[in-house]
Structure 1
């Protein structure tokens, strides 16, 4: 397994990023992985390595590079409930400033960079994301229907993308929702929108989970739900 720290030129500056990919064979299918709001850190690097071990070139950009390089936030090794108020006091202004226009400008740059790496094969790519990163992934896939063949988002506010974005999706989709984030009624409304758009998808609530269930450095972590996440993600990517 090879890893690199990279710089991606965007319309607004230089975004740092982490990449993981197999050291042999290739070229490999490309995956753009958006982190959660806490950003690139050991758990995200581990997840990128895990996915790369299945034969993918995985690129994890720093969405908040305008606020500084990784680590943008000073985080404890374990993000417990007592640490969250101070972290979110700094995080939320960055999220609120990250407009759809910014997201799409950055997505153009990330996809252009990913698809021109010598280790990445020709053809469409996949996009995945966690928490706010899942919303960024959804907007990226909606804006690049011919280029993104698979989209996965976990414990993400994907409904905030809006019906227009959801109706533009042509990728195969999996949305894995936290039980604390989405009621069954809200899930039904979201899935009705996807049905009406003719999207090929699975969209489900992971039982007993709370927001952030994939992240092993938080109190929200659920090992069984993380395994389910891999059980859903890997077949989706393989079929893209």
Structure 2
């Protein structure tokens, strides 16, 4: 799939992005794919190309652009290396709900202006912290999101005032959440809290459990699970196919 390197001007600066588009004649529905805590890297671009192959124009943003020209993380050692873990969590902290929403508005405007993209509403998907971002954006920029997905997302229903479940009554998108087993960042109790909030708000939603560990969908994560990853691609194909206008 063709990929385009570009930048998007946001309220806080200039964000590098990669746009993956299908081969052939468009335009196609647009999707923002938010990477996990490791940020944009070759694996994320490869995953965007794989989603593009299903018929979508897929934007992968550098969510850490506020940190400048940051050095990539080694996902095999980042959590065991104290200094790298500290650097990672410092950068994660820079991606606040306000930043997520502000950036998303710029990304949506960028997609709407691209000749490869059709429509004014879009899909969002993400992994780990990107799954949280996907749902946060659906709640804070609801007029631009038709379908929001989260895979092994963490912090979806917590006591934090920025928890996405507190935005349920603002969400107009259909929502899909694929949770990992034994995941302290998204427990069965938190899933019930999220389910109750979305149900009370009459949000069309699905919450499913994958028999795999946190990180199952991302190839360079240690817990990557091929069967679970395939299932997640099938889920994206079906969900976006049902909710994004072609």
- Mark yes or no: TM-score above 0.5: yes
Inter-partner Cα distance in structure 1 for 2:125 and 2:171: 14
Cα shift at 1:81: 7.2
Out of 217, 225, 228, the position equivalent to 2:228 is: 225
Q: Alpha carbons of 1:120 and 1:81: their partners in 2 closer, same or farther (altered >3 Å)?
A: closer
Is 1:119 matched with 2:103? no
Residues 80/210 of structure 1: CA separation in 2 closer, same or farther (3 Å cut): farther
Contact (CA 8 Å) 2:157, 2:193: kept in 1 or not? no
| Paired residue secondary structure (1:74) | coil
Q: Distance in 2 between matches of 1:73 and 1:180?
A: 31
Q: How does 1:88-107 map to 2 (within 5 A)?
A: 88-107=85-104
In structure 2, runs of 5+ residues without a counterpart are none
1:73 match? 71
> CA-atom RMSD, angstroms?
1.7
Contact 1:187 1:204 in 2 (8 A): no
- Name the structure 1 match of 2:132: 135
- Equivalent residue in structure 1 for 2:239, among 216, 236, 239: 236
Residues in 2 aligned to 1:119 and 1:184: alpha-carbon distance in whole angstroms: 40
Matched residue, 2:28: 28
- 1:83 deviates by 4.7
Distance 1:84 1:166 in 2: 37
Matched residue SS, 1:211: coil
| 2:58 aligned partner | 58
Contact 2:166–2:197 (CA<8 Å) still a contact in 1? Answer: no
- The reply on whether 1:173 has 2:171 as its aligned counterpart is no
Look up the SS of the partner of 1:91 in the other structure: helix
SS in 2 for 1:239: helix
Separation in structure 1 between the aligned mates of residue 164 and residue 56 of structure 2, nearest angstrom: 30
Normalization by structure 2: what TM-score? 0.90
3-state DSSP class of the match of 1:146?
Answer: helix
Task: Map 1:132-171; keep pairs closer than 5 Å.
Answer: 132-157=129-154, 158-160=156-158, 161-171=163-173
TM-superposition CA deviations, 1:170-191 (whole Å, max 9, x none): 1111101111223333322221
> Which shows bigger deviation, 23-32 or 159-168?
159-168
* Preserved CA contact (<8 Å) 2:132 2:164: no
Q: 1:80·1:218 contact (CA, 8 Å) conserved in 2?
A: no
Structure 1 residue runs without a partner (length 5+): none
Q: Per-residue CA shift, 1:82-136, capped at 9, x if unaligned?
A: 7554432111011123222222111111111111111101242101111111111
Cα–Cα, structure 1 residues 210 and 13, in superposed 2: closer, same or farther, change >3 Å?
same
How many angstroms apart in 2 are the aligned matches of 1:82 and 1:196?
37
Q: After alignment, is 198-207 or 154-163 more displaced? A: 154-163
SS in 2 for 1:203: strand
> In 2, Cα distance between the equivalents of 1:155 and 1:179?
9
